[in-house]
Structure 1
Amino acid sequence: MTKRLRGRNSMFQNWAEVALLVGALIGTALALSLVLTGLAIRRAPGLGLLDKPSERKAHSDLIPRAGGIAISLAMAGTFLLWTDFFPWPMFANPWSTPLAICLGILLIVGLLDDLYGLPWLPRLLIHFALAAFFLIQQTDFAEPFSWPILALGIFWLALLTNAFNMIDGMDLLAGGTGFLIGGAIFLAGLFYPSDAVIWSIPLLGALAGFLFFNRPPGRIFLGEAGSTTLGFLLASLSLVVVLGQAPHWKQFPALLFLFLVPVYDLVTVVGLRLFQGKSPFKGDRQHLAHRLLGQGHSQGKTLALMFGLTIGGILSGLGILLTDNELLMTSLLIWQSGGIVGFFLLEYTSGSLTPVSAKEAATKEPSHR
């Protein structure tokens, strides 16, 4: 797998050219996203793409949930506008076309779910199938441990696809978290030369345009189509960058730290639901953001805390990835792991992670959606 996921290094031979290309891609994606997101807000009601108020949601109005469409079209438009100016074929690597296919299918499935509310099991099976489709084509089965790495990669893609869907419960949260992680992948791709950075650049611009309209009170949401495609894209790019290098133990904790908040949120909320005898796929108000709000924090402080946790995980993950000093790697690993355990214990002792009945969980005070 590692040989075929490796990106090409030619783009890093002229840093002035790289800076110009980065600015052009971000600027184009931002402009397109601002226009398309504004258009999506106006057109979504006619398409039935609206998030309806309920007892589990704080908003009392119908809110468009077409942000994923605007982000996807902004990225696609950016690639189309600039493809003739790239100094290398955009889709010459073996993973870009499969990734584009997977994202297109996820967008369609997400739109169907936003419109009609699809059952969780078919959606989950599709996530695993797309993860397998993407990774099998990149795998060299003659390499040692290719099967275990493939299995872990499939699980990772499906996990993050759902983690971003689950974390999308507050204005700016999923999009802002994705923006920070996308920036980290861009930096990692510069130091670990990889074509993955070319996907992350227009993503940052497109997310910035969406976040302008998603700031509280949000005028548009990502929707299932947006959150799942965002999670799959970021997880895929992280594998392209990290597994494109020589295998090393540091890659696995580094990936977990880069996606610290989505993974922590998913693991803890699924654990709570299982303790309560509930389906882990039945929505409630027990996500990390809801738990922080339940401790008396404002929405702004909750966002600041979660973005702070995300940045802390990113710094540890990048530090582990970019150093060859074993002592520094181990120190960062121990430091970040200790922080995670400490935060978990703080939540537990405060009562945020104390399992309650399913009925009580369903009627907890809503915070946003």
Structure 2
Amino acid sequence: MVEILFSLIAGLLFIFSLIFLGRELKVYGQQSFRRIKEESVPQLGGVGIVLTLLLSAYYFNNKDLIDFLIIASPLVIGGVLDDFLELTARSKLLFQFLSAGLLLSLKYDSIIWTTWNQHPIITSVLTVFFIVALCNSINFIDGLDGLVFGYFLAVLPILYLVPNELSSSVFLILGSILAFGFFNKKPARIYLGDVGSNLIGLILAYSFLTHKPLSGGKHFVILGYLMIFALPLMDMTTATIRRVIAGVSPFSADKDHIHHRLLKVGLNDTQVATVFFLVGALCSNVGWILVNDVEPLLKWSTLFSSTGVLLIILYLVFRTEGQLGKHISHFGRTLIETYVNIEKTDYDLPESHLHQAIILDLFNYYKELQRKGLPKVVTFVKDISGFITFKFKGARVMLLSSYSIAIILPSGDKWNKTETDLLKADFLRLTDKHKCSRLNNNEPEGLYFYQKEEFAIFYREMAKKNKSNINDNVNAA
């Protein structure tokens, strides 16, 4: 109890001070489509947790925690640099590799793979893999106020009950996390930042990698920890597969994580955080059963039943969100046709009528605004209509899909930088008015400029596709 109170009070003081320091230094969270937040918030929460743990480890002379913080030092340095300078994904990986290297150097004999007499190469590869996977998976779910805090709070008691080299430090970690959670509850006054998400990911990985087996098969130990970490690992796995299939970097940001999908089906931020806490608690308790010395039949039945429950929940979330997306698609087309002066799209314009053009893809804005209610979406579409009418007098306006609008100028072959910069600024002002999130590079999402030749090629491709669809429908009839 003394340890919790000490780290809690120290954490409150450190983090309270860092909130003001972060505002002075403007160390703010990125305004991107990944994080649901409308105002700038300092992202030095992880630094506050580290400072609290450093002071606590020194005061209580906790050697295990000191060793951990030494191993975590590259991640802390890399996180601070990222919070200030926005490092590339490769640079972040380098610091994760450095922490893994320190763990292998300082704690090789304590690593679980070594205690199981695994080959040094296998030990090294698996150690690096778990550290990188868990650090990045925590970063992936750090998208809502209180989300990582709630999940970690559910997992932390199990890390105390399951013997590892951080078990003696759990109360100190708990106090520092509670201090952060006090300032991170909605509306958040501070974020974890890259330091915090990497630190929590490393705490999870370190607890597993320094696990001290009691009895029972090693396969159950691995399955137990995988179950404890199931929620972030599941989110990271689905996100990685989704991005690879889409042909983009696995580290690129999007708004299709599990917590985003829960928001889309109607839950609010607090409810989503509660779901993560409850699922985290369920997975942690199942993991504890698997790691402990109980009957194998009980372990297998618990594993299969809990995995089935998780998969059913995941399926229902994805299915509900998909059905909702179809309704929104029809709704979006109806709104545009109602409020925007759209020409009939037959794709029969002669070449002489094809000039420079703009395509507006409103899909991400619809996904974001539909959570705020129908009136917000209607007002947004009305403002888009006003933007088109005021900025593009005499232009042809065509509906390409439920969310995409083509604006063909009455004349002109090429855009110049002055024109595009002014239009980007005007469009950003419109989206800012509706408190839509920005991309990391502050470029307007969904605003695409086409020179005359580029648009002519695009238009002809759309015409071919439209003709093919008509023929398919005729043949089907």
State the TM-score, normalizing by the size of structure 1. 0.82
Q: Does 1:138 align with 2:107?
A: yes
What corresponds to 1:30 in structure 2?
8
Cα 1:134–1:247, aligned 2, differ >3 Å: closer, same or farther? farther
CA distance in 2, matches of 1:52, 1:80: 34
Is residue 265–residue 288 contact of structure 1 (8 Å, CA) maintained in 2?
yes
Question: Which amino acid letter does the alignment assign opposite residue 158 of structure 1?
Answer: V
Closer, same or farther in 2 for the Cα pair 1:81/1:331, shift >3 Å? same
How far apart, CA to CA, are the structure 2 residues paired with 1:152 and 1:229? 19
Q: Deviations over 1:117-137 (max 9, x none)?
A: 101012113213321331354
User: In the alignment, is residue 277 of structure 1 matched against residue 247 of structure 2?
Assistant: yes
Percent of residue pairs identical: 25
Number of residue-to-residue matches in the alignment: 332
Task: Provide closer, same or farther for how the CA distance between residues 338 and 60 of structure 1 changes in structure 2, counting only shifts above 3 A.
Answer: closer
Per the alignment, residue 52 of structure 2 pairs with 74
**C-alpha distance in 1 between matches for 2:244 and 2:154:** 30
Equivalent-residue separation in structure 1 for 2:236 and 2:201 (angstroms):
13
Higher RCO (CA-CA < 8 Å; seq separation 6+): 1
Residue 306 of structure 1 and its aligned partner are, at CA, apart by 1.6
What root-mean-square deviation, in Å, do the aligned CA atoms of Structure 1 and Structure 2 show?
A: 2.8
* Uncovered stretches (5+) of structure 1, i.e. residues with no partner: 1-22, 84-89
Rounded Cα–Cα distance in structure 2 between residues aligned with 1:52 and 1:290: 17
Are residues 164 and 361 of structure 1, via their aligned partners in 2, closer, same or farther at CA, if it must alter by over 3 Å? farther
Q: Which moved more, 1:298-307 or 1:66-75?
A: 298-307
Establish whether residue 331 from structure 1 lines up as the match of residue 305 from structure 2.
Answer: no
Give the aligned partner of residue 462 of structure 2. Answer: none
Pairwise CA distance, 1:143: 6.2
How far off is 1:235 after superposition?
1.4
Q: Which residue identity does 2:133 align to in structure 1?
A: L
C-alpha spacing 1:135/1:324, structure 2 compared with 1 (3 Å):
farther
- Specify the alignment match of 1:121 in structure 2: 90
TM-score (norm 2): 0.64
**In structure 2, distance between residues paired with 1:317 and 1:174:** 19
Cα–Cα, structure 1 residues 268 and 327, in superposed 2: closer, same or farther, change >3 Å? same
Runs of 4+ in 1 over 6 A off after TM superposition: 353-356, 366-369
- SS at 2:211's partner residue? helix
Alpha-carbon separation, structure 1, partners of 2:275 and 2:150: 12
Matches within 5 A, 1:308-319: 308-319=278-289
Which of 170, 184, 188 is the aligned partner of 2:162?
188
Query: Contact between 2:15 and 2:179, CA under 8 Å: does it hold in 1?
Result: yes
Does 1:42 pair with 2:20? yes
- Segments of structure 2 that go 5 or more residues without pairing to the other structure are 327-360, 372-435, 438-477
* Matched-pair contact (CA < 8 Å) for 1:275–1:355: no
Q: Is structure 2 residue 193 aligned with structure 1 residue 223?
A: yes
1:166, distance to aligned residue in structure 2 (A):
1.2
Q: For the Cα contact (< 8 Å) 1:139–1:146, is it kept in 2? A: no
Task: Please tell me whether the aligned partners of residues 107 and 229 of structure 1 are also in contact (alpha carbons under 8 angstroms).
Answer: yes
Q: 8 Å contact 1:254–1:318 — kept in the other structure?
A: yes
Which residue in the other structure is 2:40 paired with? 62
Higher mean Cα deviation, 197-206 or 240-249? 240-249
What corresponds to 1:104 in structure 2?
73
Offset at residue 307 of structure 1 (A):
1.3
Is 2:148 the counterpart of 1:174?
A: yes
Take 1:343 and 1:214, find their aligned partners in 2: how far apart are those partners?
27
What is the 5 A alignment of 1:150-161?
A: 150-161=124-135
Change in 2 beyond 3 A, CA 1:301/1:143: closer
Report the AA paired with residue 155 of structure 2. I
Residues 362, 132 of structure 1: CA spacing in aligned structure 2 closer, same or farther, 3 A cutoff? farther
